[in-house]
Structure 1
Amino acid sequence: MDAFRSLLEPDETERLRLQQAVEQYAQGFIQQLPTLPAFVAQPDMGAGLLEAPIQEEPIAIEEALQLLQKQVDTPGINSASGNHLGYIPGGSLYTSALGDYLAAVTNKYAGIFFSAPGAVRMENMLLRWMAGMIGFPEDTAGNLTSGGSIASLIALATARDAQKITSRMIPDAVVYMTAHAHHCLDKALRIAGLGECPVRHIEMDAAYRMSPQALEKAILADKASGLTPWLVIASAGTTDVGAVDPLQDLAHLAKKHGLWYHVDAAYGGFFALAASGKAKLKGIELADSVVMDPHKGLFIPYGSGAVLIKNAKQLGETHHYQANYMQDTLSSLGEVSPADVSPELSKHFRGLRIWLPLQLHGVKAFRIALEEKLFLAQYAYNKLQYMPGFETPVAPALSVVIFRYKPKAGIEANAFNQNLIHEVQQDGRVFMSSTKLGEAYMLRMAILSFRTHQDTIDTALQVLQEKAAALEEQAAVKASVERY
């Protein structure tokens, strides 16, 4: 029987040997980060992993780590790099990884208060801290989720029930957002059974913010047509350009017309920690629900979202469940069990990956880092304005900088910028991404890694200049050859 018992339980010596190998790999990765490419276009894209299938007999930790390094950690975007300036970067705090390690070793089931009262208290404490940060009341309820998508689903399902939107009403129940609202919101509406709701994409101003005047006009028109306006979704940091909608004005309109007011602050919410960021989020405290992602503005690794909802009673009514086998868990001594306010029953102890860094670094460190990101975005924007050939249609509201290169006459701008971002990505020193504003192909610099500093931005601008000049030279040579 001892032989069976030891198969999955390494002794202390073996545990230390495995841990040492893993820690050596982790330390080596972090030490090399400044020199590692931000993007690697590997032809097989990690397919070599398939050559080492899961099998009956074990392999050595060294072999496993070699596969990890070559097939998983090398190809694609290096999300841990400070040179990752594409999309909205996720964090990779080492102290957060330690929290995950401890959460996995102790394996606390954090879904029910009865099972892990300390873990649930920790997660609820973090949610109350977040609520206080954005001016929500102390009795706000919420959930630590895997990300903004599940957080949005929780919020919109709760809003549906609070507004008493039944299945018969759905074709006439109108939702309002801009065309720049994150696609996870459309997905959440569909999953919540609201896919047939009419969705009005409200006009935006020159800074790509929702127009309050256009919103009220649309609400009044829908009411006059016998429809039921019920939900306004504002953005506090859009993915495309980082815009913050006029949160206060939209809140007043939602209240005036009896609509649920949801703010998607998955990207921008934690800028409330920074003095200059908090001013830009004025009005977020008036929302009925807010989504904000620790794996963005708190630099926590991917898999860390949060939803905050003022109507705690409705949140519980929408997501609660009962089962005979759970009868021992009903008493929670005033603490909300995460399983009662979320689609999830089984869940990872996510709170430890957030709580440990906050305790070990202190909030001040996060506040300073966020102020730096806001400064760097303005720095990049100012530099781009004086770089020949580049144009910046809108100043950054937070830490996303949108721009494009305007090539010489005779060169199609969209194709040129598409080639430019391809060349930047293939170069690998930095990673940036693209989007479209109307018909214009635009480039994006999203600055949110705690490892991104001014020298990173200088490198990014240098790469842009080099690649743009090389592409224009190629175009000139091609045009010359075609003429002759």
Structure 2
Amino acid sequence: MEAEEMRRLGYRMVDLVVENALNRHASPAIQADTPEALAQALGGPLPEAPGDADAALDTLARVALANMQHGDHPRYFARVPGPASFAAVLGEWLGTGFNTIATSWGGGSGPSTVELVAVRWLAEMLGLPEATEGVLLSGGSLASLTAFATARAEMGPGTAYFTDQTHSSLPRDLRLLGWAADELHMLPVDAGYRMDPARLAAAIQADRARGRTPRMVIATAGTTNTGAIDPLDEIAEICAAHDLWLHVDGAYGAPAAITAQGRALMPGLARADSLVIDPHKWLFQPYDVGACFVTRPGALERTFAMNPEYLRDVKTAPGTVNFGDRSPELSRRSRALKLWMSLTTYGAGRFRAAVARGIANAEFAENYLRQNPARWQVVTPAQIGVVTFALVGADAAEHARRAKVVSDTGYAAVTSTLLNGVSVLRLCTINPLTTEDDIRQTIDRLGAA
């Protein structure tokens, strides 16, 4: 492709992205056409001859990229939104355009330095110990798998403890790594949907009495269902007393700790042996980027480092890092460029303000629901950007119907979930572009559906 054509198409792509950002509030929050319609628009025979790049861009933007959940939409309240900042998008584009690799120091010292800096900045914002090390991955699932593999390498096999509110991907990670069924100990939660330290301590004692070997506790800083935060400090005390690895899944919720309000809700976060966050959720990065932090220096390399003969030339001097030795990923792009670009452009203070806005949005939603007790019941109060509620007298089918009606209009994306077998509606309000009117209108439309 000629240079002038590359520039023209690149500028056109920028225009498409900026127009989408400017008009997303007027577009559907979620959209899904039929498999047949999508296959007809995007499929066909394998192209053998050159085609029209402008037409291809139009098709991708108009069809492929329109038909998905738009996690950056101000009224996308389902699951966990992904409101990406434009400065982060610029960092992502630059990395892709330069075909960046961040595997070894010898093959990517610049991108590796950016990742070291970004990981250190994130750890500082979260209040983690100074010696914390980390690595960026695709998201919470692979980041937790990396942490679990490290825990097993450092501590040995044994029983892992978690709750029925633990994200479903984490027990899957454990099974993939070879944890047997009888080594997975799921605990019931307390009335606030949090891990109960007394139950945890009793389970550890009972397992020891049965000849089992307790090894790891998986706590959550912000459950997906309700935003509940496990009592991390009490759990850390139990782990210290029994020499257990403490893993904290903070994929969506731990970024609340960059604010004073959120930090106060998470005492003990810095005592974790490993912590996972998803910056593509509440740190405003485009998909994908997850982060695995380990507070035991050298543990990641002790678990994942390898020394094949064909990598001898990129082995590094002391003080340098091969990120390919910190996770299962070897060929890896630089996910740090977007974090570095956005933190450098906006500053940490603007990130803190944006996270605080998400917390306040959920509190506004709770207060608005409580103004109409004849219609709405608040089931769990606002907790770091999540509130759950029920239509008085409605069952699961009715909640699902109303959520679908609102979502099908495109105005907002809303889902229901189950808490102890009881159906509730749920809003996750972490997009800083969400307005109070967006929340009011969404709740009113759910009531009228």
Same fold, TM-score > 0.5, yes or no:
yes
Alignment of 1:146-295 (within 5 A): 146-165=138-157, 173-295=158-280
Single out whichever of 133-142 and 357-366 deviates more from structure 2.
133-142
Q: In the alignment, is residue 415 of structure 1 matched against residue 397 of structure 2?
A: yes
Matching residue within 60, 72, 78 for 1:86:
78
Aligned counterparts of 1:227 and 1:71: Cα–Cα separation in 2: 54
1:347-392 Cα shifts (integer Å, max 9, x gaps): 1111101110111111111111111110110110111122232111
Aligned counterparts of 1:127 and 1:450: Cα–Cα separation in 2: 23
SS state at 2:106 partner: coil
Displacement of 1:54: 3.9
1:145-185 Cα shifts (integer Å, max 9, x gaps): 110011001100010111122xxxxxxx2211110101111
Single out whichever of 285-294 and 323-332 deviates more from structure 2.
323-332
TM-score, length-scaled by structure 2: 0.96
Aligned counterparts of 1:53 and 1:237: Cα–Cα separation in 2: 46
Q: Report what 1:103 is aligned to.
A: 95
Q: In the alignment, is residue 428 of structure 1 matched against residue 428 of structure 2?
A: no
Output the amino acid matched with 1:37. P
Output the amino acid matched with 2:279. P
Matching residue within 118, 123, 137 for 1:131:
123
SS state at 1:200 partner: strand
Aligned counterparts of 1:115 and 1:382: Cα–Cα separation in 2: 54
Q: In the alignment, is residue 40 of structure 1 matched against residue 31 of structure 2?
A: yes
Contact 1:179 1:202 in 2 (8 A): yes
Aligned counterparts of 2:310 and 2:193: Cα–Cα separation in 1: 51
Contact 2:246 2:272 in 1 (8 A): yes
Contact 1:234 1:263 in 2 (8 A): yes
Q: Report what 2:111 is aligned to.
A: 119
Single out whichever of 418-427 and 365-374 deviates more from structure 2.
418-427
Q: In the alignment, is residue 76 of structure 1 matched against residue 68 of structure 2?
A: yes
Displacement of 1:43: 3.3
Q: Report what 2:350 is aligned to.
A: 365
Contact 2:316 2:322 in 1 (8 A): no
Q: Report what 1:57 is aligned to.
A: 49
Aligned counterparts of 1:195 and 1:383: Cα–Cα separation in 2: 46
Aligned counterparts of 2:390 and 2:26: Cα–Cα separation in 1: 27
Output the amino acid matched with 1:380. A
Single out whichever of 153-162 and 109-118 deviates more from structure 2.
109-118
- Mark the runs of 5 or more structure 2 residues left unpaired by the alignment: none
Contact 1:435 1:441 in 2 (8 A): yes
SS state at 1:56 partner: coil
Q: Report what 2:443 is aligned to.
A: 461
Q: In the alignment, is residue 300 of structure 1 matched against residue 291 of structure 2?
A: no
Single out whichever of 55-64 and 239-248 deviates more from structure 2.
55-64
Contact 2:85 2:284 in 1 (8 A): yes
Contact 1:402 1:443 in 2 (8 A): yes
Matching residue within 368, 380, 395 for 2:381:
395
Structure of larger gyration radius: 1
SS state at 2:15 partner: helix
Displacement of 1:453: 2.4
Displacement of 1:142: 1.2
Alignment of 1:345-356 (within 5 A): 345-356=330-341
Displacement of 1:52: 4.2
Contact 1:114 1:332 in 2 (8 A): no
